[in-house]
Homo-oligomer: A and B are copies of this chain.
């Protein structure tokens, strides 16, 4: 399964380490240290860092270095706004085509429901697997519209979103609540109540925003 090149592999590794806060906000990514840790050379690492920079996962200061980007309330609100914009637009697209059956999304939700509780494991690999499954639901939803550019964009902001979701999922019962909201949303789509589904979506997003907001303000996690 090692068909990918070094850049792609190290990219995914770094991405997930940042999401689960194994690489913490503000941390300086020393190119020599990291390339040695991962057993690779600097060029593919640098290529990966440039891609991460595009996703706003890291920030590069010329001639100084590359740092893990900070988590801030402003940034979180921006990501949430953007997410709301895209997801709501997707519902509009589904409505326009009257697409009610979303087998890929359903399947993703089912997989997410089968995840163990507590959701956040102390095991790094386990946490990464969980975060991936939760991400999948939303990515599939956007993909079901058939607009591949939208999928790309959503996927891109999804990485940042996942960092905040990692905070969110530490909150008791947040995962269950989230899954319930998702199920309700899908049911409304299935019965063709697209506008209601959109409202439900907005409510869910605003709810999670409020929850995470407090955590960020009080620096409870990360």
Chain B residues within 8 Å of A157, by CB? 149, 153
Interface membership of A21, Cβ < 8 A: no
- Select the stretch in A31-39, A50-58, A121-129, A178-186 that faces chain B: A50-58
| CB < 8 Å neighbour of A85 from B4, B53, B54, B86 | B86
Find the B residue at minimum CB distance from A51.
Answer: B50
Alpha-carbon distance between A89 and B153 when the two chains are bound, in angstroms: 16
Chain A 147-173, CB-CB to B under 8 Å as 1, else 0, gives: 111101100110000000000000000
Whether the pair B56, A54 counts as a contact (CB closer than 8 A) is no
Whether the pair B51, A150 counts as a contact (CB closer than 8 A) is no
Chain A 86-100, CB-CB to B under 8 Å as 1, else 0, gives: 100100000000000
Contacts of A95-134 to chain B: CB distance below 8 A: none
| CB < 8 Å neighbour of A51 from B43, B51, B153, B156 | B51
Interface membership of A214, Cβ < 8 A: no
Chain B residues within 8 Å of A5, by CB? 62-63
Whether the pair A89, B79 counts as a contact (CB closer than 8 A) is no
Given A47-B46, A54-B54, A78 and B4 contact (CB-CB distance below 8 Å): no
Alpha-carbon distance between A153 and B156 when the two chains are bound, in angstroms: 9
Alpha-carbon distance between A54 and B156 when the two chains are bound, in angstroms: 9
Interface membership of A75, Cβ < 8 A: yes
Interface membership of A13, Cβ < 8 A: no
Alpha-carbon distance between A150 and B47 when the two chains are bound, in angstroms: 24
Alpha-carbon distance between A106 and B58 when the two chains are bound, in angstroms: 33
Chain B residues within 8 Å of A63, by CB? 5
Given A7-B50, A43-B43, A81-B147, A152 and B56 contact (CB-CB distance below 8 Å): yes
Taking the nearest CB of chain B, how far is it from the CB of A201, in angstroms?
Answer: 15
Interface membership of A193, Cβ < 8 A: no
* 5 other A-B residue contacts (CB within 8 Å) besides A43-B43, A47-B47, A50-B51: A46-B47, A79-B149, A82-B149, A85-B89, A153-B156
Q: Which residues of A come within 8 Å of B, CB atoms?
A: 3-5, 7, 43, 46-47, 50-51, 53-56, 62-63, 75, 78-79, 81-82, 85-86, 89, 147-150, 152-153, 156-157
